[in-house]
Structure 1
Amino acid sequence: MIDQPMTPSPVAKLFKAKRLAMNLTQEELASKVSEGLNPPDRLSQQSYAAYERGKSQTSRHMMQIATVLGLSWDEVSRIMFAELMEPPPPPPHNGIEADHEGQPEAHIEDEYFVARLLEQHDLPNEPGRTEIRERSKTDIRFSSSKLRQIGVSPANVICVTVYGNSMEPALPHGCVVGVDKARSIVQDGEIYALIHNDHLRVRLLYRLPSGGIRLRSYNREEHPDEEYSPQQIREQRVIIIGRVFWHSAYR
């Protein structure tokens, strides 16, 4: 069962604070955003309200909302990236309990932790549009000690579901990859998970001399290389989550 997030994202909280500071109602803000869109595209008050409340964690009009509120996309993207970098909340106890004689008793389970999972979901009544949700209750468990042996901090681990056949045969559709959020600086030829216009993607990345990036698939016959300039990275809301260190491939 998928947990539906209901807490507003940090960006949504920022938008609300700026909106209130500008004395704009949700309806007025949605109307101003819609004025800058190409018909029939529009932002309804109901859609914006759902985003501001946290019922929806993303909005395809985030860049236009930021513009109306006088915010730069660089500022918004930094907040989005910082949110991804937040470690999971600590467990309710430290893993040590007292036995019947009052002596501390360690548990083997404390060597393992359950990883969070990012999933992509289609938006109802909006073909081709998606949003990304986080599922905290999963069956994906990692050994903390083994992660440290390969230089990965448990606090920086998040898992991502692979969609499509672009990374076949190594990473088929539906498999899950483990991502180290601390390693988001591109090293040529490594596999990374990223967010691209509210879509989850897993690709080989390469740096370009212009400061942009090249995305490469294993299945290059169907998915040729893609190159993005720094400006396109900002406009298309490309955020590198981190480097892939583990995968669970299955058919």
Structure 2
Amino acid sequence: MKDNSVTGRLWSAMQDVGVSKAELARAANVTPQAAGKWFKTNSISRESLDACAKRLGVSIKWLINGEGDKFPENVVSISKKKHDQSSNVDSFIELDPWDSKTPLNDDEVEVPFYMEVELSAGIGSTIQLETSGPKLRFSKSSLRKHGIDYNAAACVKVSGNSMEPVIPDGATVGIDTANTTIKDGDMYAIDWAGALFVKTLTRRPGGGLRIRSFNMDEYPDENLSPEEAQQVRVIGRVFWYSVLR
């Protein structure tokens, strides 16, 4: 059943645009825990709602009462129009019909999709041979605008439920392998003691590391000591994800 509450519409917009709770929390200047309570209690302040509407590029009138268009006239969805946000490239992806025989235009690049590498969002999986299969297409200018070298970009499939409901089992993520410097609260693909994961990372005093899942009820925070943190290798920052399966 469709959720017609304010937070239900907020969640719907997050899925359309591809923005996580952590990103919304930063936009609203609240903690991720506070953002999580919006959906558990179906309660959010007008100030936070305004910030969320601005971050998502949706109509505040639609968010509040469901009236009017979800996206203003200058913001469009997956038809062959453009949507340009000045924040993260994972906010939106421009899609046009194509297949493997469609030639690349001057502004397109094919990013390898590693079919035999699964980044676990659960209990972990053994690293398998990195054999590339199909490719996904991205705009060079969009990647360049957000500081991503397309030669360092790759896409992989996520398995497990630890990052649900934001990134469900079977979703695809784009990784910037040239960006391995941890920015607190951002999402990364990591090799942790021989297993691959997608998690949000936060540095701790003294060189420790906090590894966090969105599904915190089943997967509580892992607070690693400086020695334990040495076992974590950052593969790259997650710059995009898709829940289409």
User: Which sections of structure 2, spanning at least 5 residues, go unmatched?
Assistant: 1-102, 119-123
Mapping of residues 29-40 of structure 1, within 5 Å? none
Mapping of residues 34-53 of structure 1, within 5 Å? none
2:147 maps to 151
| CA displacement at 1:121 relative to structure 2 | 6.3
- Distance in 2 separating the partners of 1:216 and 1:120: 25
**Among 230, 240, 243, which residue is 1:246 paired with?**
240
Q: Contact between 1:114 and 1:142, CA under 8 Å: does it hold in 2? A: yes
With normalisation by structure 2, the TM-score equals 0.51
- Distance in 1 separating the partners of 2:194 and 2:116: 8
- Distance in 2 separating the partners of 1:198 and 1:110: 39
Q: Contact between 1:120 and 1:199, CA under 8 Å: does it hold in 2? A: no
* Partner secondary structure for residue 145 of structure 1: helix
* Partner secondary structure for residue 147 of structure 1: helix
User: Which sections of structure 1, spanning at least 5 residues, go unmatched?
Assistant: 1-106, 123-127
Instruction: Say if 1:141 and 1:121 are closer, same or farther in 2 by CA, change over 3 A.
Output: closer
Instruction: Say if 1:118 and 1:146 are closer, same or farther in 2 by CA, change over 3 A.
Output: same
- Distance in 2 separating the partners of 1:183 and 1:111: 22
| Aligned-CA RMSD value | 2.3
Q: Does 145-154 or 217-226 show the bigger shift? A: 145-154
Q: Contact between 1:203 and 1:216, CA under 8 Å: does it hold in 2? A: yes
**Residue 178 of structure 1 pairs with residue 174 of structure 2:** yes
Deviation per residue, 1:126-158 (Å, 9 max, x gap): xx8622332323231212121112221112212
Instruction: Say if 1:112 and 1:121 are closer, same or farther in 2 by CA, change over 3 A.
Output: closer
Q: Contact between 1:193 and 1:243, CA under 8 Å: does it hold in 2? A: yes
1:166 maps to 162
| CA displacement at 1:159 relative to structure 2 | 1.8
2:18 maps to none
With normalisation by structure 1, the TM-score equals 0.50
* Partner secondary structure for residue 183 of structure 2: coil
Instruction: Say if 1:120 and 1:203 are closer, same or farther in 2 by CA, change over 3 A.
Output: farther
Q: Contact between 1:119 and 1:200, CA under 8 Å: does it hold in 2? A: no
- Distance in 2 separating the partners of 1:203 and 1:144: 26
Mapping of residues 168-247 of structure 1, within 5 Å? 168-234=164-230, 237-247=231-241
- Choose 1 or 2 for highest CA Rg: 1
Percent of aligned pairs sharing the same letter: 41
Q: Give the AA of the match of 1:249.
A: V
Q: Contact between 2:115 and 2:133, CA under 8 Å: does it hold in 1? A: no
* Partner secondary structure for residue 127 of structure 2: strand
